[in-house]
Amino acid sequence: MSEVQEKKKIILSGIQPTGVFTLGNYIGALKNWVKLQEDYNAAYMIADMHSLTVRQDPAKLRQQILSAFAVVLACGVDPNKSLTFIQSHVHQHAELSWILSCNTQFGELNRMTQFKDKSAKNADNINAGLFTYPSLMAADILLYQADLVPVGADQKQHLELTRDIATRFNNLYGNTFKVPEPYIPKVGARIMSLSDPNKKMSKSDENQNSFITILDKPEVIIKKFKRAVTDSDMEVRYAEGKDGINNLMSIYSVVTGLSYEQIEKDFQSKGYGDFKTAVGEAVAEHLRPVRENYERLIADKAYLEQCYKLGAEKASNFANRTLTKVYKKVGFIAK
């Protein structure tokens, strides 16, 4: 890292390569990653090790990891500005995870709500990794001495645990880890399902019309928005009880930059049909450069390999500083 970069705060985030990313992933994470790399010393990873807590088809997983890496670059993350890598390529993640597991209490892991949720969904495969993966998540963050971690509502508990682990380790062994703070985006649009606006948009939803993927074709995007669930009011306005319209207005506001007031004004004398078509067209156009960049990148395997190998090398060098310090603190003999 250069001297200029060193002065910037470090921000770290990761995304699992389980299927094609949705519009929710794009607006909630990837779009922000692009902005954050300008103001912070950013580290972004494809969290492929985390994906193993549920059974994966190896060939499909390999394809999804490469595709996810290409999508991240296609969205505008610049590997020359950001540390961009694949988690499993940096062995220090697994090594630090073991040390941190030994400094994490069973009761703390047992209280994790995501473990309970995922156990219910995967009753035939409640494995130890599913239970201990918050320790791996802590390793992901603490290896890079991150100042900030962007978190959604479903990850707040894990970041709190990471902070507790870091503080406990520092108290036991002396100052070793930076205790990270949550980064809450100023405009945190939570994108909901198009078929059920009371639940979050998810790529695992059985109803294909409930989510938009980043790589959906324009005609597919418009068709899905036309089928979006709304209400019987027919007035385009942001209000309590209008969850479907509120969700569409949030999406439209993010991709056009228009305020809710301006949107209400623009569609004052128009119905939901016109509005849903406008949202679909705006989203399709907004995602067009991402789709085009992705097609170009995924066809250039040599360039992608060059990027992720260089990223892994840089990440490993940085992570090794922290791991060497940790090994010395806990009493291991240096190699």
CA dihedral (163, 165, 168, 172) positive or negative: negative
Is residue 34 within 8 A of residue 76, CB to CB? The reply is yes
Query: Is 217 annotated in the active site?
Result: no
Is residue 193 within 8 A of residue 201, CB to CB? The reply is yes
Q: Which of 8, 9, 81, 203 is catalytic?
A: 203
Cα(246)–Cα(325) distance, integer angstroms: 49
**Residue that has been written with the tokens 């380790």 in this structure:** 169
First to last CA, the chain: 25
Is residue 134 within 8 A of residue 160, CB to CB? The reply is no
* Ramachandran sector of residue 145 (left: φ over 0; alpha: ψ -120 to 50; beta: rest): left
Q: Which of 9, 81, 118, 329 is catalytic?
A: 118
Cα(41)–Cα(81) distance, integer angstroms: 8
Q: Which of 200, 224, 242, 276 is catalytic?
A: 200
Query: Is 203 annotated in the active site?
Result: yes
Cα(209)–Cα(207) distance, integer angstroms: 5
Query: Is 200 annotated in the active site?
Result: yes
Cα(220)–Cα(227) distance, integer angstroms: 11
Q: Per the structure block, which two tokens stand in for 48?
A: 């492929």
Is residue 198 within 8 A of residue 229, CB to CB? The reply is no
Cα(314)–Cα(84) distance, integer angstroms: 9
What residue type is 73 in one-letter code? L
Residue among 185, 180, 10 at smallest CA distance from 83: 10
Name the residues annotated as catalytic.
118, 200, 203
